[in-house]
Amino acid sequence: MSLFERLKAAASAEWRAYTEHAFTAGLADGTLPEAAFRHYLVQDYLFLIEFARAYALAVYKSPQLADMREAASGLSAILDVEMNLHVKLCAGWGLSPRDLEQAQPASETLAYTRYVLDAGMRGDLLTLRVALAPCVIGYAEIATRLAARPGAQVPPNRYRVWIEEYAGAPYQEVAAKARAHLDRLADLYVTPAREAELVAVFKEATRLEADFWEMGWRAGLR
| 90 has catalytic annotation | no
Residue 163 near residue 28 (C-beta atoms within 8 A)? yes
Q: Which 8-state DSSP code applies to residue 30?
A: S
209 as an active site residue: the answer is yes
Q: Classify residue 149 by its DSSP letter.
A: S
Compute CA distances 44 → 62, 67, 123, 188, whole Å.
Answer: 26, 26, 25, 33
- Say if CB 177 and CB 140 are below 8 A apart: no
Catalytic residue among 14, 70, 204, 209: 209
Catalytic residue among 82, 135, 141, 195: 135
Note the Cα 31 to chain centre separation in Å. Answer: 22
Provide CB contacts within 8 A for 183, sequence distance 6+.
2, 3, 4
Whole-number Å distance between alpha carbons of 129 and 36: 29
CA distance 107 to 39: 13
Burial (CB count within 10 angstroms: exposed 0-12, middle 13-18, buried 19+), residue 101: exposed
- List residues with catalytic annotation: 135, 209
